[in-house]
Amino acid sequence: MRTASISPGSRSGAAIAAAALLALTTGCGPGADGPAGGSPGPADGPTSYTAKDTDITAEPGERFAVTVDQNASTREYWYLVDPEPDSSVLVSRGREHASDSGDGAGAGGRLAFTFEAKGRGVTRFTLLHCTFTTCQGNTSELPPETTAPSDTPATEATPSQAPERITYTVTVD
């Protein structure tokens, strides 16, 4: 039995290497990460919006997430606050934090608030953004007792140091 030998400089070696590379890269396109150039499809998970996307349109049954930057090590937190969205139109499905560095200690990250569109209509929800100068006594799970500046802020409070409130309008068609 004769075996083929492939030397690094031979044409057959280059052809086999090219074929192996082609086989390895086949199917390595957008695939599981979603379609090229954009938003994930329904099978890939919820559509993602940023804090600036305050007008959202969804279809009944669709899930979407509003993702904000958050750094707990600097006492920066976001909360879904009252008034809650109309539950016949939109339901909160929780929140999930992802660390930028993967270790979670002292690193910033992103917090995604996930919602599910239930029925046709228009509703609103509000996210409250607290920093160490705008809210006292808050943690990632415990929002401040007031949405106004604290009675005992870390620095002298001015009206510009009130927590940021962003209201989102969701239309379900």
pLDDT-derived band of residue 107, with 50, 70 and 90 as boundaries? Answer: low
Q: How far is residue 51's CA from residue 3's CA, in Å, rounded to a whole number?
A: 63
Question: Is the predicted pLDDT of residue 116 greater than 60, yes or no?
Answer: yes
Cβ partners under 8 Å of residue 78, min gap 6:
68, 70, 111, 113, 127, 128, 129, 130
Q: How far is residue 136's CA from residue 144's CA, in Å, rounded to a whole number?
A: 6
Rg, the chain, Cα only: 24
Mean pLDDT of all residues belonging to the chain: 73
The SS3 assignment for 32 reads: helix
Q: Is the pTM of this model over 0.75?
A: no
Residues 27-48: what's their mean pLDDT?
48
- Whether 164 contacts 113, CB under 8 Å: no
Please give the structure tokens belonging to residue 167: 């209201």
Of the candidate ranges 60-64, 101-105, 152-156, 161-165, the one whose mean pLDDT is the lowest: 152-156
Most confident of 125-129, 144-148, 159-163: 125-129
pLDDT-derived band of residue 84, with 50, 70 and 90 as boundaries? Answer: confident
